[in-house]
Amino acid sequence: MSGIGLLARHEWRRLAAQPFAWILAAVVLALMSWQFLLALQAYLEISPRLGGLKDAPGVTDLVAVPLLHSLANVLAFVVPLLTMRMIAGERRAGTLPLLLASGLGNATLVLGKFLGALGYVLALIALIALLPLTLELGTTLDLGKLAATLLGLAAYAAALCAIGIACSAWAAQPALAAAAAIAVTGLLSVVDAGARMQGIGNAGINYLALPTHLQPFTRGIVSSVDLVYFLILATVALALAARRLDDLRASADL
């Protein structure tokens, strides 16, 4: 197994041994389950009226997709809490010098940490995706739109994990890393707010905003432009993290 795989598996095992990771997952699952039940109840109340409407939205548009969209908002806070200890925690505990002296390159270390965090988040997304999928037993879901939304959510989660790893590499304390990651994610979420208030919805500044690239997936549209955006964002963030590790190798400030 490669160094990246070994480090990713180590991060998985470490997360599995931490009560914090289990509590975080339990809180998110409970929150999403409650929202799912509320949305389902609201849909059942209005479904008799929807039957007489032409092109009325179905359970996918009114229950499944809004649930996954809400999960994206929750991940903006959950992922920074998950990634804050990935590198900053090693630095605070004094184990980062040992990790840097292990013979693994900076890219290997960063990618291993990234895949470990991403694996946890994808498993959480998969568990929550089972909630709307249970509706397939009693109704007809638009599985294509649901699959597109999940793909966009996975790409969005990958970008968040990369941002979290970068902030963890540059911050000296895990709490600072979490705060920085939340701030960066928030900035990328509202960077186009002023432009939209002025009626500008298709300019360069709109391209920088995270929601701009997540929303098409929730409509069942898979665009290479949006996938490339998440790929570039994740690549830049991981490159910054690797650069920081290079600086730490060259200095005694560990």
Domain coordinates in residue numbering, the chain:
3-250
Which stretches of the chain score pLDDT less than 70? 1, 50-56, 193-204, 252-254
Q: What's the burial of 20, exposed, middle or buried (CB within 10 Å: 0-12/13-18/19+)? A: exposed
Task: Provide the pLDDT for residue 17.
Answer: 85
The pTM (predicted TM-score) of the whole model is 0.91
Task: Provide the pLDDT for residue 83.
Answer: 93
Terminal-residue alpha carbon distance, the chain: 28
CB neighbour list of residue 207: distance below 8 Å, 6 or more residues apart:
229
Q: What's the burial of 194, exposed, middle or buried (CB within 10 Å: 0-12/13-18/19+)? A: exposed
In angstroms, the CA 81 to CA 83 distance is: 6
In angstroms, the CA 43 to CA 122 distance is: 27
Please name the helix (run of DSSP H) or strand (run of DSSP E) that holds residue 149, with its range, or none. Answer: helix 143-170
Amino acid present at 185: T
